[in-house]
Amino acid sequence: EVQLVESGGGLVEPGRSLKLSCVASGFIFSNYGMNWIRQAPGKGLEWVAYMSSSSSYIYYAETVKGRFTISRDNAKNTLHLQMTSLRSEDTALYYCARHDYSGEDYYFDYWGQGVMVTVSS
């Protein structure tokens, strides 16, 4: 059974940093790209960042580029999101999601339960 379990969230002051983790199980982690997606309270979904299976390709949303860093440790089946210079607008539930490819399309086929990040003084 595929499982993605996020951790590391919490309450943080504006301008500070926080590091999220996502531990994967039930599949060969090193074979899949991974994403972070966030959802502000009562709002829709926003894709945040992507890292390919071998870390060769990395993409960010403009809203976080230069502040957030995605990384992964394939030996530990873990995805990370290092968040710096946090702003109130970064307050959201952060999901990690597995990236799959059908041969014709990319999609997010498994999602974690999410971890809450609240940026407030």
Partner 1 sequence: DIQMTQSPASLSASLEEIVTITCKASQGIDDYLSWYQQKPGKSPQLLIYDATSLADGVPSRFSGSRSGTQYSLKISRPQVDDSGIYYCLQTYSTPWTFGGGTKLELK
Number of chain positions touching partner 1 (CB under 8 A): 23
Residue 95: partners with Cβ closer than 8 Å, 6 or more residues away: 6, 36, 37, 38, 39, 111, 112, 113, 114
Helices (H) and strands (E) in the chain, counts: 0, 11
Select 88 or 106, whichever has its Cβ closest to partner 1.
106
Shortest Å distance, C-beta 113 to partner 1: 6
Residue 115 exposure: Cα atoms within 13 Å on the Cβ side:
19
Say whether residue 47 binds partner 1 (CB under 8 A). yes
Select 27 or 110, whichever has its Cβ closest to partner 1.
110
| Of positions 44, 56, 66, 75, contacts partner 1 by CB under 8 A | 44
| Of positions 30, 45, 71, 82, contacts partner 1 by CB under 8 A | 45
Say whether residue 27 binds partner 1 (CB under 8 A). no
Select 44 or 66, whichever has its Cβ closest to partner 1.
44
